[in-house]
């Protein structure tokens, strides 16, 4: 799977016009061809594609993902590893907020089906789903950072300040909240639909027939079952979340995978793109695995081995 | 007597897990053999998991059997390729249990009834319509049903449409898979009467599948009793109801609640659950619930052998007949 | 519950009207308030966008260097942009492009998605396994990354954007179609058709397609909304519709500049509002369609 | 289970409070934070001066070259070289070095200079200067404070090139094989320079932090810490500037406008030294006729564009230069005259050459302003009957298209909207126009093969008499003005915005970021 | 004599469908004494399940409600509570406590994500206030009582790990967990195989003998009624058309619908002779009417061979054919 992914990316990359050396040339203060030859030689970009790929694969299998072309002296693996943390932090926080908000709003909405609070929540959720991530990010940045100065305008830490948790949190809050908007809305819609469906199930009627309090009927008997499709949804949104994170990371200058990739694609930094895509692929696969495990925990009918 | 119209030999079906999933092998059918003579109605009776539907579908090759032969008028359909099979299918039709699931909600009754003619490229549009309307009349539905959708009909009416669909192709053989078990009691008898009437009028050969021995009695000439993928007993209907020989058949007959409130006692209740077909008992599959099982029952699979008056039974005990 | 619509003990001779499932779904759709509101928003927007050249004096690419960055006025209802182009005209033209991109990409991804899903579900286990692995691969690739790479190959412009968006969106659909068809394959009426000797094309187009129509229609509407957002996102990253061609996405892109964000809000607020409104409305419609197609909604 | 959750909550709260406590402690250090690598002159995340194609504004705060332009970019002055002399043959350069110590305390000597120049000439090190320093015949260090460089042939650009060669410490790098230098982590972890600030740390993709070098030869820097923050876009930097998180950044012209009225900020304006032009691919049939090229010049209302889109902050260019000393008398001004443009096109038979078929106008400029400019150009050219369609691509794509070896698809870049450095060294435009520079040899990507232009350029490049040098470049200008290898547009200004808190802050929008004598040691903050 | 366990009178349950009120059940009177099993029998749409849901107050909230009538329940402590009009909280305390309920589909009526033991223990904790541990022990004991072998292990298993028969035993255990005075069994054996059905019927009879609760047994299967019930009420189109002791109703039905139903049920051994004679099976003509389109007068009249004009004029009242047997037929005497 990962090999297939790497082949795909490799081919895609080589199909794209411009190579890393082209990225080096500033068209308004260009360099001579012989200057460029130096770089091309060193990177082995003149060899046939299969040879280049196999060389990359052989090195990658032994754990060597090469060096970034655009950043002197930076090996790909540590560079990529360094970025996982921030992205995981941003996405994790954003998704956590989204999950908590989305699920509770979904439950509330389903229970109050078609009542005013449900309609309001649903409309809000629809607006959330319908707003482009980058627009909310831009506006959020402008209002909360530039105008109100409630939060830093970007980055993960205050430049020059020693590392501190509160500093990172201060930088995290705004982008994480903005990231959560769309996801919360989506989760809420799914949760609502799923819960409404579950509420029609026989076992919910059984629970009521047992005299379980309505609150516990919803929370204990219905919600856990209603969560199942939502878990699948959350698992499959991780890919999308990485996408949303790209917008946010570039607007908020968050030093994560998305930003790294956007930069790497912009400079045709092949080793970094390959490394980062693979790591993202692994993460997605891991998240799917995690989803399966969570699913199995929630649903005893599924067995994981 | 000439060769049987339909002949099943050593039919076995195992549902193996798919290439991308895991799970146990389900032994749905084990070594099933029986014959049906032309114009005969054979009842196939058994509880859930006994493999009734698997047999029914295998006969029409809607399920590919794992091994075994199915000869239809002398042709082994398990070996037919797609083209001849498609032609062969004109002669064999299926009636389904659930009158709600068996009719496409997106097609009018007319489309449903002419679909087979369409697939088999029989007749032009007008002729197809005429045949469909004839079928509607045969199942006692008004002709104006032709342009309606299935959802407008009640369960009994839908089952009539299902029967009409089966007869538009003028088949020689019909598998009726629990055609009345989803219907209300007062409707069940109507459909059984209809099927019986059509069978006689059109000279159909039929395999009638049911879980209820009482329903089978009226329509069937011969009854096959199935348990966990194996045949327990085969007998002419009259003989089976009068003198059931296999302990399972007896238990089954005894378990049917009697309408007479005064006859409550004397019922023999089987102990335990039906074992999973994924893990059937060794030897006689019924031995775990059999009131008269012996130690020897675990040792061998009892062969299906003939006893008196056309009976076949798969039980090693002759002393309890 | 025994009183359900599953129990239509209506005497057919007594009930005069015969409505197909599509008609009934439409009826239910029109009873949905949110969906009606969605239509009420989308239809005028569609009308305006498709006819603006007939009634609006400005053309979207006509510059006027003497009137740059002017706010809304009687002449330029929605103001003018950085080269004095009329924002209203660009908004309309941008709508045309955005909607064109969305509709075309959805159409393409529907064809691909349906065929892939159909082949997987009816093609046997081996084909199914292989195809679904491929779909998994396509879904493992985080969309925006795929998109970045694809867009840098295909370049910017309408056709590449359509291509990129449609290539991105089919896997989800093909999964849904596959799931539906796998289930459908076991349904009695399909078994009946097989029993009558039906081949693959018959099963696919006489049973598969009609029974996927709800998935396709709902997917199409929701995906159109999604595609509009994707186009906007792509254009935002500079990978979608390139200026001077207008699209809602690249008009919104102007908001990146603090000056525009702050001092010329009409340049991004109107496209932003129209975009959100349109996507919202289409989502309403899609949701309405989903409910309308849901057979259980008969219950209520 | 519940107790466990409570415990976890407590732990998290504790962590947060602890974090707050650490951040509360005030920092006494005077700090300037800026976006020094924002904009066209920057090269963020590159730490290796040998591989730099930009970013010299920042690199020169902790590294130093031998010679450096003054802040006005008019003249070269000594930096690590106290002074220098050039032999009459224009082949021998003698540099007298200043007294300075490396940041790690080791003395700076002529051996370091010799080491650096040799390293820079060595292809294996991945140095981008290898070819440009190819004229060096020898480097000698007769004593600790003197370096003598001999060239194999005269090169008018030599000192200009040297100004970008940052001198590196021999004692730190000599031990590493040159091949490993390009991938060494030394550059971003423990680099050692001679500049007023010394490298402190790099927080990946976030910022670089420098600390004052207390024994800097021109005096201890006034601020303790200098921080360069990285931004994804100028807009992000502007947000940070307005949020008060940084004190300086490059800004787009549009943004500069809004800062002009803000008393908290000072807008720094300067010529970009980049001439913008419409490149006309000479391999394409379309632009062979000079009348077509003239028509394009007449069709574009450059003054109107400068007035409205640049807010007046650009000079129209009628050849590759706008600097007064490079402009000869009697240049054709190519005034806006659409009627004349139409007439010229008709004369040239444009209907037959192309008519109204769309022509792609390729560019790598992705800024909103460039989009506006291209929209204006598209509209103006459409007026006279030339149908162009702008296409914005990223830099590698652009280069991939225009540099493409083998047989490029000429139609993919019939026209480009581009810029080329035309100063401070006027020789900068030669590689883009000289026929000897057609790829793969150089970057005459428009494949201009005008003999008279090439002759004029070669003459100017070979001119070693300082007195005649301006005259030679004026000749180049004259030929360009006549032949119109490009449709030259203008040289625009670029902007930086600094907080009013900054004192003695110097910034110039130099191409590639300079370097220029910005004297960071004098920068101060209130 | 004690008050009956359950006493329903004049019950009318109404559904609002497509803007119209449709009575799913009307004029329903029913009593169940302690230790008595009353069967409510009818075809789909006859209103039998609506009746059972009305008793425990679980008609679908949005569309269904009890329009009139009274439902009085004798509770474990001997007090009699009127269930209609009871506030939701008090009603909740009755459900699962004084009334146990067993549904048709043992698979879907058990929550798939909780263990059997947990689901049985839940009402014990709620209504009897027992601790988790005690309730769990009770659950195991109840499982043993309903004849599940190895109850300790089964209590820790999830519904999908049990066979259909076992699941239904588990739901019975759940319904009986608080020792209710009334057990409502809504088609409890319909989804089961006949051999398993026989086991469950025996189990119910045995449990009733032990505990003496009243059972309301809802079913469409007349054979099952004959097996288990003391008295039977036959429903058709929302009304009881005939009621009385099973022995009387089944030997001498006093309503043409009951009679037709009895005739349609295939009886073992009889069909063979019919077939030999070439006679079709006896049937009731026509289809079950929709509740939305009920004919005026007797709902059964359109299908009834004995119908006279008076039948179509007004809904016939219940006539007392004997002291215990009632029929809603004008011509009950002619049967």
Residue at token pair 């030997």:
E251
Q: Chains B, C in contact: 3+ Cβ pairs under 8 A?
A: yes
Q: Which of E236, E262, E287 is the best mutation test for B, with the most CBs of B within 10 A?
A: E287
Q: What share of chain D in percent tops pLDDT 70?
A: 94
Among residues A301, A30, A252, A279, the alpha carbon closest in space to that of A133 is found at: A252
In a domain, B58, yes or no: no
The domain defined by D271-493 carries CATH number 3.40.50.1370 = no
What average pLDDT does the segment C251-280 reach? 87
Mean model confidence pLDDT for chain C: 81
For chain C, say whether B115 makes contact (Cβ under 8 Å).
yes
Q: Is A45 on the interface with E (CB under 8 A)?
A: no
Task: Answer yes or no: do E269 and B47 touch at CB < 8 A.
Answer: no
CB contact under 8 A, A211 and E123: yes
Give the nearest partner residue to D233 out of C84, C152, C256, using CB atoms: C256
Query: Is the pLDDT assigned to residue C91 strictly greater than 90?
Result: yes
Instruction: State CA B288 to chain mean position distance.
Output: 25
Q: What is the pLDDT of residue B266?
A: 61
Q: Is residue E265 assigned to a domain?
A: yes
Across the interface, whether the CB atoms of A202 and E96 are under 8 A apart is answered: no
Q: What are phi and psi of D505, to 5 degrees?
A: -85, 130
Range of the domain at B114: 101-164
Interface subset of D 355-414, CB within 8 angstroms of C? 366, 368-369, 371-372, 374-376, 378-379, 390-394, 397
Q: What is the CATH number of the domain that holds C224?
A: 1.10.3720.10
With touching defined as 3 or more inter-chain CB pairs under 8 Å, the answer for chains C and A is yes
Averaged over D137-159, what is the pLDDT? 91
At C239 the pLDDT is 74
Q: Are residues E267 and E168 both part of a single domain?
A: no
List the single range of A36-40, B300-304, D221-225, D447-451 with lowest mean pLDDT.
A36-40
Residue range(s) defining the domain that contains residue C29: 23-51+79-291
How many domains does chain E fold into? 2
Stretch among A11-20, A259-268, D281-290 having the lowest mean pLDDT: A11-20
Identify the pLDDT of residue A303.
62
C69: preceding bond cis by omega (within 30 degrees): no
In degrees to the nearest 10, what's the CA dihedral of C159, C165, C166, C167? 100
Measure in Å the smallest separation between the Cα of C260 and chain D Cα atoms.
8
pLDDT at position C92 = 94
Measured from the Cβ of residue A115, the count of other Cβ atoms closer than 10 Å reads 11
Higher-confidence residue: C2 or C235?
Answer: C235
The overall average pLDDT reported for chain D is 88
Instruction: With respect to residue E219, please indicate whether it lies within any of the assigned structural domains.
Output: yes
Q: How many C-E residue pairs are in contact by the CB < 8 A criterion?
A: 37
- Tokens 């002197």 map to which residue? A72
Is the pLDDT at D7 greater than 60? The verdict is: no
pLDDT given for residue B21 in this prediction: 57
Contact assignment for D308 to C243 by CB distance below 8 Å:
no
B156 Cβ under 8 Å from any chain E Cβ: yes
Q: Is E123 on the interface with A (CB under 8 A)?
A: yes
pLDDT digits (tens, 9 = 90+) for A125-149: 888 888 888 888 888 888 888 888 8
Rg for chain B, CA atoms, rounded: 21
Q: Touching check for A42 and chain E: CB below 8 Å?
A: no
Question: Can you give the pLDDT at residue C10?
Answer: 39
CB–CB contact E194 B259 (8 Å):
no
Q: What is the pLDDT of residue E233?
A: 95
Has residue C93 been placed in a domain?
Answer: yes
Question: Which pLDDT value is given to residue C15?
Answer: 46
Closest Cα in chain D, distance from residue C26 (Å): 44
Q: Which residue of D has its CA nearest to C250?
A: D368
| Residue E234 included in any domain | no
Measured distance CA(E218)–CA(B6) in Å, rounded: 43
Least confident of B15-24, C265-274, E159-168: B15-24
Quickly state the pLDDT bin for E22 (edges 50, 70, 90).
Answer: confident
Contact at CB, A208 and E111, closer than 8 angstroms = no
User: What sign does the dihedral C283-C284-C285-C286 (CA atoms) show?
Assistant: positive
Nearest to C62 among D238, D366, D379 (CB): D379
Considering only alpha carbons, which residue of chain D is nearest residue A248? D232
pLDDT value at position E229?
92
pLDDT at residue A203 greater than cutoff 60: yes
Count how many domains chain C has.
1
Contacts B145 to C, Cβ<8 Å: 12
What pLDDT score was predicted for residue B264? 58
Nearest CA in chain B to E246: B261
In a domain, B106, yes or no: yes
Range of the domain at E183: 6-229
Alpha-carbon span A242 to A223, nearest angstrom: 27
Q: Do chains E and B touch (3 or more CB pairs under 8 A)?
A: yes
Residues of E in contact with C11 (CB under 8 A): 287, 290, 293
The verdict on E286 touching C (C-beta cutoff 8 Å) is: no
Question: Does B have 3 or more CB contacts under 8 Å with D?
Answer: no
Q: Is C227 part of a structural domain of the chain?
A: yes
Q: How many separate domains does chain B show?
A: 1
Q: Do the Cβ atoms of B200 and E278 come closer than 8 Å?
A: no
Q: Which residues pair with E74 in a beta bridge?
A: E80
Tell me the chain B residues in contact with residue E221 when contact means C-beta distances shorter than 8 Å.
Answer: 185, 257
Most confident listed range (B97-106, D58-67, D391-400, E292-301): D58-67
Of the pLDDT bands very low, low, confident and very high (cuts 50, 70, 90), residue D342 is very high
B35 assigned to some structural domain? no
- pLDDT, chain B, mean: 87
pLDDT tens across D366-391, in order? Answer: 888 888 899 999 999 999 999 998 88
- Is B141 a domain residue? yes
A-C C-beta contacts closer than 8 Å: 108
pLDDT at C13 > cutoff 60: no
CATH 3.40.190.10 location in chain D: 31-247+501-525
Nearest to C143 among A129, A239, A262 (CB): A239
A32 to chain C, minimum CA–CA distance in Å? Answer: 25
Chains that touch D (3 or more CB pairs under 8 A): A, C
Tell me what pLDDT residue A59 has.
86
Q: Which residue of A has its CA nearest to D189?
A: A73
Tell me the backbone φ, ψ of residue D151, rounded to 5 degrees: -100, 155
| Residue B149: inside a domain | yes
Burial class (CB in 10 A: 0-12, 13-18, 19+), A229: middle
Q: Has residue C11 been placed in a domain?
A: no
Q: Residue E183 has what pLDDT?
A: 95
Q: What's the average model confidence in pLDDT over D38-55?
A: 88
* Residues of chain C neighbouring B149 (CB-CB closer than 8 A): 18-21
Q: What is the pLDDT of residue A9?
A: 80
Q: Is D379's CB within 8 Å of C155's CB? A: no
Choose the final residue of a domain: E207, E229, E251. Answer: E229
CA angle E112, E113, E119 (to 5 degrees): 80
C166-191 pLDDT, tens digit per residue, is: 887 888 888 889 888 888 888 889 98
Q: Hey, are the CB atoms on B185 and E281 less than 8 Å from each other?
A: no
Q: What is the pLDDT of residue C18?
A: 56
In angstroms, the CA A187 to CA A98 distance is 7
Most A-contacting residue of D14, D232, D246 (CB-CB within 10 A), to test interface? D232
Mutate to test the interface with D, among A14, A19, A24, A26 (most CBs of D within 10 A): A26
Residue at C6 is within a domain: no
Q: Do chains E and C touch (3 or more CB pairs under 8 A)?
A: yes
Residue C300 has pLDDT above 60, yes or no: no
Residues of D in contact with C238 (CB under 8 A): 366, 392, 394
Q: pLDDT digits over E219-259, tens only?
A: 998 889 988 999 999 999 999 999 999 989 998 999 999 99
Superfamily of domain D31-247+501-525: Periplasmic binding protein-like II (3.40.190.10)
- Residue D353 token pair: 């050459």
A301 touches chain E (CB under 8 A): yes
Closest CA–CA distance from residue E188 to any residue of chain B (Å): 14
Q: What is the pLDDT of residue B19?
A: 52
Query: Which chain D residue's Cα is nearest to A262?
Result: D232
| Distance from the B226 Cα atom to the nearest Cα atom in chain E, whole angstroms | 13
User: Is E177 contained in some domain?
Assistant: yes
- Residue that terminates a domain, selected from E178, E202, E229: E229
| Boundary (domain end) residue, out of E203, E229, E255 | E229
Burial per residue of D475-498, b for 16 or more beta-carbon CB atoms within 10 angstroms, e otherwise? bbbbbbbebbbbbbbbbbbbbbbb
What average pLDDT does the segment B245-272 reach? 79
Q: Which residues of C touch A239 (CB under 8 A)?
A: 139-143
Query: What are the residue ranges of CATH 3.10.105.10 in chain D?
Result: 271-493
Report the pLDDT averaged over residues B157-181.
Answer: 92
Residue numbers in C near E44 (CB within 8 A)? 2, 7
* B185/E220 Cβ within 8 A: yes
Instruction: State the smallest CA–CA distance between residue A240 and chain C in angstroms.
Output: 7
SS3 sequence of chain B? CCCCCEEEEEEEEEECCCCCCCCCCEEEEEEEEEEECCCCEEEEECCCCCCHHHHHHHHCCCCCCCEEEEEECCEEHHHCCHHHHHHHHHHEEEECCCCCCCCCCCCEHHHHHHHHHHHCCCCCHHHHHHHHHHHHHHCCCCHHHHHCEHHHCCHHHHHHHHHHHHHHCCCCEEEEECCCCCCCHHHHHHHHHHHHHHHHHHCCEEEEEECCHHHHHHHCCEEEEEECCEEEEEEEHHHHHHCCCCHHHHHHHHHCCCCCCCCCCCCCCCCCCCCCCCCCCCCCCCCCCCCCCCHHHHCCCCCCEECCCCCEECCCCCCCC
CA distance C23 to chain A (A): 24
E267 within a domain of the structure (yes/no)? yes
């Amino acid at each position: 799977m990962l090999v297939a992914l790497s082949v795909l990316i490799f081919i895609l990359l080589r199909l794209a016009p411009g190579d890393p050396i082209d990225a080096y040339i500033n068209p308004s203060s260009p360099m001579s061809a012989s200057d460029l030859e130096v770089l091309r030689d060193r990177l082995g970009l003149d060899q046939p594609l299969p040879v280049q790929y196999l060389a990359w694969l052989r090195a990658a299998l032994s754990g060597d993902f090469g060096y970034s072309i655009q950043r002197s002296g930076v090996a790909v693996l540590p560079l990529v590893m360094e970025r996982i943390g921030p992205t995981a932090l941003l996405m994790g926080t954003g998704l956590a907020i989204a999950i908590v908000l989305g699920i509770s709003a979904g439950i509330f909405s389903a229970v109050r089906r078609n009542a005013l609070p449900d309609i309001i929540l649903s409309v809000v959720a629809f607006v959330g789903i319908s707003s482009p991530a980058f627009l909310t990010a831009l506006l959020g940045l402008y209002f909360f950072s530039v105008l109100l100065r409630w939060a830093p305008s970007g980055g993960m830490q205050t430049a020059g300040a020693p590392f501190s948790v509160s500093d990172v949190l201060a930088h995290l809050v705004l982008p994480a909240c903005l990231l959560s908007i769309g996801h919360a809305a989506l989760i809420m819609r799914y949760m609502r639909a799923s819960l409404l469906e579950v509420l029609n199930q026989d076992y919910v009627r059984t629970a009521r027939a047992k005299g379980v309090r309505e609150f516990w009927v919803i929370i204990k008997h219905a919600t856990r079952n209603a969560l199942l499709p939502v878990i699948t949804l959350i698992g499959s949104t991780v890919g999308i979340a990485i996408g949303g994170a790209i917008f946010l990371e570039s607007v908020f200058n968050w030093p994560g995978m998305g930003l790294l990739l956007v930069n790497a694609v912009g400079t045709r930094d092949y080793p970094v793109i390959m490394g980062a895509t693979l790591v993202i692929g692994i993460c997605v696969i891991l998240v799917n695995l995690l989803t399966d495990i969570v699913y199995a925990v929630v649903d005893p009918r599924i067995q994981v081995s | 007597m000439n060769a049987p119209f339909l002949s099943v030999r050593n039919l076995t079906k195992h549902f193996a897990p798919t290439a991308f999933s895991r799970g146990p092998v389900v032994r749905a059918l084990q070594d099933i053999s029986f014959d049906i003579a032309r114009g005969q109605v054979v009842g196939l009776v058994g509880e859930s998991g006994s493999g009734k539907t698997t047999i029914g579908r295998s006969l029409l090759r809607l399920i590919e059997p794992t091994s075994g032969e199915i000869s239809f008028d002398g042709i082994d359909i398990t070996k037919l390729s797609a083209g001849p099979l498609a032609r062969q299918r004109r002669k064999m039709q299926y009636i389904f249990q659930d009158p709600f699931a068996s009719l496409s909600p997106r097609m009018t009754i007319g489309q449903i009834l002419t679909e087979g003619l369409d697939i088999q490229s029989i007749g032009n549009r007008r002729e197809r319509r005429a045949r469909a309307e004839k079928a509607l009349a045969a199942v006692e539905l008004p002709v104006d049903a032709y342009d309606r959708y299935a959802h407008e009909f009640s369960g009994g009416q839908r089952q009539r449409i299902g029967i009409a669909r089966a007869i538009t192709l003028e088949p020689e053989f019909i598998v009726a898979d629990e055609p009345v078990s989803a219907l209300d009691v007062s409707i069940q008898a109507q459909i059984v009467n209809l099927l019986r009437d059509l069978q006689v009028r059109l000279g159909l050969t039929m395999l009638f599948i049911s879980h209820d021995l009482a329903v089978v009695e009226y329509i069937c000439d011969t009854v096959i009793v199935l348990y966990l993928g194996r045949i327990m007993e085969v007998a002419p209907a009259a003989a089976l109801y009068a003198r059931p020989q296999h302990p399972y058949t007896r238990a089954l007959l005894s378990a049917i609640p009697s309408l007479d409130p005064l006859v409550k006692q004397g019922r023999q209740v089987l102990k335990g659950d039906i074992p999973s077909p994924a893990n059937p008992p060794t030897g006689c599959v019924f031995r775990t619930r059999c009131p008269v099982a012996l130690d020897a029952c675990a040792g061998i699979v009892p062969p299906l052998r003939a006893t008196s008056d056309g009976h076949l039974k798969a039980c090693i005990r002759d002393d309890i007949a | 519950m025994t009183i359900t619509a599953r129990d239509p003990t209506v005497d057919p001779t007594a009930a005069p009207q015969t409505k197909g499932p599509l008609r009934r779904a439409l009826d239910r759709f029109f009873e949905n308030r949110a969906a009606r509101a969605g239509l009420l928003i989308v239809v005028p927007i569609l009308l305006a966008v498709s006819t603006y050249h007939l009634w609006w004096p400005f053309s979207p690419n006509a510059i006027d260097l003497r009137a740059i960055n002017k706010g809304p006025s009687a002449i330029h209802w929605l103001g003018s942009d950085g080269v004095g182009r009329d924002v209203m005209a660009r908004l309309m033209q941008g709508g045309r492009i955005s909607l064109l991109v969305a509709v075309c990409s959805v159409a393409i991804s529907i064809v691909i998605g349906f065929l892939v899903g159909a082949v997987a579900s009816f093609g046997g286990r081996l084909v199914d396994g292989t195809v679904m692995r491929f779909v998994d691969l396509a879904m493992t690739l985080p969309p925006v990354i795929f998109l970045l790479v694809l867009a840098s190959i295909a370049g910017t412009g309408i056709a590449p954007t359509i291509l990129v968006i449609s290539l991105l969106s089919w896997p989800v659909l093909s999964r849904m179609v596959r799931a539906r068809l796998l289930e459908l394959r076991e349904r009695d009426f399909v078994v009946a058709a097989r029993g009558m000797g039906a081949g693959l094309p018959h099963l696919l187009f006489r049973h598969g397609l009609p029974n996927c129509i709800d998935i396709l229609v709902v997917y199409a509407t929701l995906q159109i909304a999604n595609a509009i957002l994707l186009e906007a996102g792509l254009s935002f990253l500079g990978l979608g519709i390139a200026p001077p061609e207008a699209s809602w996405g690249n008009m919104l892109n102007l908001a990146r500049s603090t000056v525009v964000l702050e001092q010329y809000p009409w340049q991004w607020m109107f496209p932003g509002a129209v975009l959100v409104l349109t996507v919202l409305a289409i989502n309403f419609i899609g949701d309405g369609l989903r409910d309308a197609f849901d057979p259980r909604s008969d219950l209520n | 289970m519940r107790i466990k959750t409570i415990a976890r909550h407590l732990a998290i709260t504790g962590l947060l409070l602890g974090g707050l406590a650490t951040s509360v402690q005030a920092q006494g250090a005077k700090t300037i934070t800026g976006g020094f690598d924002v904009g066209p002159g920057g090269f963020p995340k590159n730490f290796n001066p040998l591989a730099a194609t930009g970013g010299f504004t920042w690199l020169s705060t902790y590294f130093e070259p031998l010679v450096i332009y003054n802040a006005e970019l008019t003249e070269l002055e000594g930096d690590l070289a106290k002074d220098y002399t050039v032999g009459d043959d224009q082949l021998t350069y003698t540099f007298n070095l200043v007294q300075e110590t490396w940041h790690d305390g080791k003395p700076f000597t002529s051996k370091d200079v010799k080491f650096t120049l040799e390293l820079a000439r060595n292809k294996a090190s991945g140095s981008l200067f290898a070819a440009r320093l190819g004229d060096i015949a020898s480097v000698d260090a007769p004593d600790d404070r003197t370096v003598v460089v001999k060239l194999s042939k005269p090169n008018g650009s030599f000192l200009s090139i040297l100004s970008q060669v940052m001198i590196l410490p021999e004692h730190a790098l000599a031990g590493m094989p040159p091949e490993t230098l390009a991938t060494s982590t030394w550059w971003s972890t423990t680099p050692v320079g001679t500049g007023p600030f010394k490298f402190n740390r790099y927080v990946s993709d976030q910022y670089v932090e420098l600390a004052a070098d207390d024994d800097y030869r021109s005096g201890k820097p006034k601020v303790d810490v200098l921080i360069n923050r990285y931004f994804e876009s100028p807009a992000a930097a502007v947000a940070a500037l307005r949020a008060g998180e940084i004190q300086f950044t490059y800004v787009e012209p549009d943004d500069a406008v809004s800062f002009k009225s803000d008393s908290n900020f000072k807008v720094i304006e300067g010529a970009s030294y980049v001439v913008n032009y419409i490149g006309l691919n000479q391999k394409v049939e379309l632009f062979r006729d000079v009348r077509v090229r003239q028509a394009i010049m007449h069709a574009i209302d450059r003054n109107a564009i400068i007035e409205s889109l640049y807010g007046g902050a650009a000079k129209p260019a009628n050849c590759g230069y706008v600097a007064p000393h490079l402009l000869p008398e009697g240049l054709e001004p190519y005034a806006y005259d659409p009627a004349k443009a139409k007439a010229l096109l008709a004369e040239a038979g444009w209907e037959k050459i192309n008519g109204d078929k769309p022509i792609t106008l390729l560019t790598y400029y992705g800024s909103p302003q460039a989009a506006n400019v291209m929209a204006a150009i598209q509209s103006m050219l459409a007026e006279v009957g030339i149908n162009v369609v702008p296409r914005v691509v990223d830099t590698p794509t652009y280069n991939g298209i225009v540099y493409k070896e083998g047989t490029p698809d000429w139609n993919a870049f019939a026209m480009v909207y581009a810029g080329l450095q035309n100063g401070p060294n006027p020789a900068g435009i030669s590689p883009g126009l000289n026929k000897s520079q057609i790829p793969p040899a150089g970057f005459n990507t428009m494949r201009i093969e005008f003999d008279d232009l090439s002759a004029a350029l070669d003459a100017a490049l070979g001119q070693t008499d300082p007195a005649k040098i301006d005259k030679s470049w004026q000749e180049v200008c004259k030929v360009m003005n006549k032949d119109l290898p490009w449709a030259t547009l203008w040289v625009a200004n670029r902007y930086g915005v600094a907080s009013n808190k900054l004192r003695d802050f110097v910034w110039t929008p130099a191409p590639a970021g300079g370097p220029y004598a910005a004297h960071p040691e004098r920068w101060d903050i209130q | 004599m004690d008050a009956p366990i359950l006493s329903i009178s004049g019950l009318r349950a109404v559904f609002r469908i497509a803007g119209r009120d449709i009575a799913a059940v009307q004029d329903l009177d029913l009593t169940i004494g302690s230790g008595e099993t009353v069967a409510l029998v009818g075809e789909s749409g006859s209103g039998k399940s609506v009746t059972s849901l009305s008793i425990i107050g679980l008609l679908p909230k949005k569309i269904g409600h009890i329009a009139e009538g009274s439902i009085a329940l004798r509770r474990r402590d001997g007090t009699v509570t009127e269930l209609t009009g009871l506030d939701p909280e008090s009603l909740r305390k009755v459900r699962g406590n004084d009334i146990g309920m067993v549904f048709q589909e043992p698979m879907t009526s058990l929550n798939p994500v909780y263990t059997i033991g947990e689901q049985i223990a839940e009402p014990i904790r709620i209504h009897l206030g027992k601790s988790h541990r005690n309730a769990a022990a009770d659950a195991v004991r109840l499982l043993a009582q309903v004849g599940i072998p190895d109850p300790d292990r089964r209590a820790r298993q999830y519904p999908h790990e049990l066979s259909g028969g076992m699941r239904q035993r588990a739901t019975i255990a759940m319904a009986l967990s608080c020792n209710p005075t009334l057990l409502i069994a809504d088609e409890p054996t319909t989804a089961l195989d006949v051999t398993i059905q026989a086991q469950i019927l025996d189990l119910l009879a045995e449990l009733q003998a032990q505990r003496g609760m009243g059972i309301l047994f809802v079913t469409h299967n007349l054979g099952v009624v004959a097996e288990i019930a003391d008295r039977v009420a036959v429903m058709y189109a929302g009304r009881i058309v005939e009621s009385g002791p099973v022995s009387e109703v089944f030997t001498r039905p006093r309503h043409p619908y009951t009679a037709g139903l009895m005739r349609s049920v295939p009886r073992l051994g009889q069909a063979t002779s019919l077939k030999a004679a070439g006679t079709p099976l006896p049937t009731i003509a026509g289809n079950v009417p929709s509740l939305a389109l009920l004919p005026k007068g007797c709902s059964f009249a359109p299908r009834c061979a004995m119908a006279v004009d008076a039948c179509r004029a007004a809904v016939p009242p219940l006539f007392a054919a004997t002291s215990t047997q009632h029929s809603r037929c004008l011509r009950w005497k002619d049967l």
